[in-house]
Amino acid sequence: MYRITIQHPKEGQEPLVLQTDTRNLARSVVQLARENKLDYEVVTEVSPRIVKFKGL
């Protein structure tokens, strides 16, 4: 499971949250966020631990 949170570029707007089980979809969304220079956070559950990473 991947949960990706992308911050809206305008202050005060709600972030976009995507949850998927598909690694390729998660990778594509992160690539789009990077190309558009958006702040993002990915949380993935890898049994039995949770892995987080952030980027700009």
pLDDT digits (tens, 9 = 90+) for 16-53: 999 998 889 999 999 999 999 999 888 887 766 666 76
| pLDDT over 70 at 14, yes or no | yes
**Segment holding 35, helix H or strand E:** helix 23-35
Whether residue 17 contacts residue 4, with contact meaning beta carbons closer than 8 Å, is answered with yes
How high is the pLDDT of residue 48?
63
Confidence of residue 11 (pLDDT cuts 50, 70, 90): confident
Direct distance between the N- and C-terminal alpha carbons of the chain, in angstroms, rounded to an integer? 21
Q: How high is the pLDDT of residue 56?
A: 59
**What is the radius of gyration, based on Cα positions, of the chain?**
11
Q: Residue 24: helix, strand or coil by DSSP?
A: helix
Q: Assign 9 a pLDDT band (cuts: 50, 70, 90).
A: confident
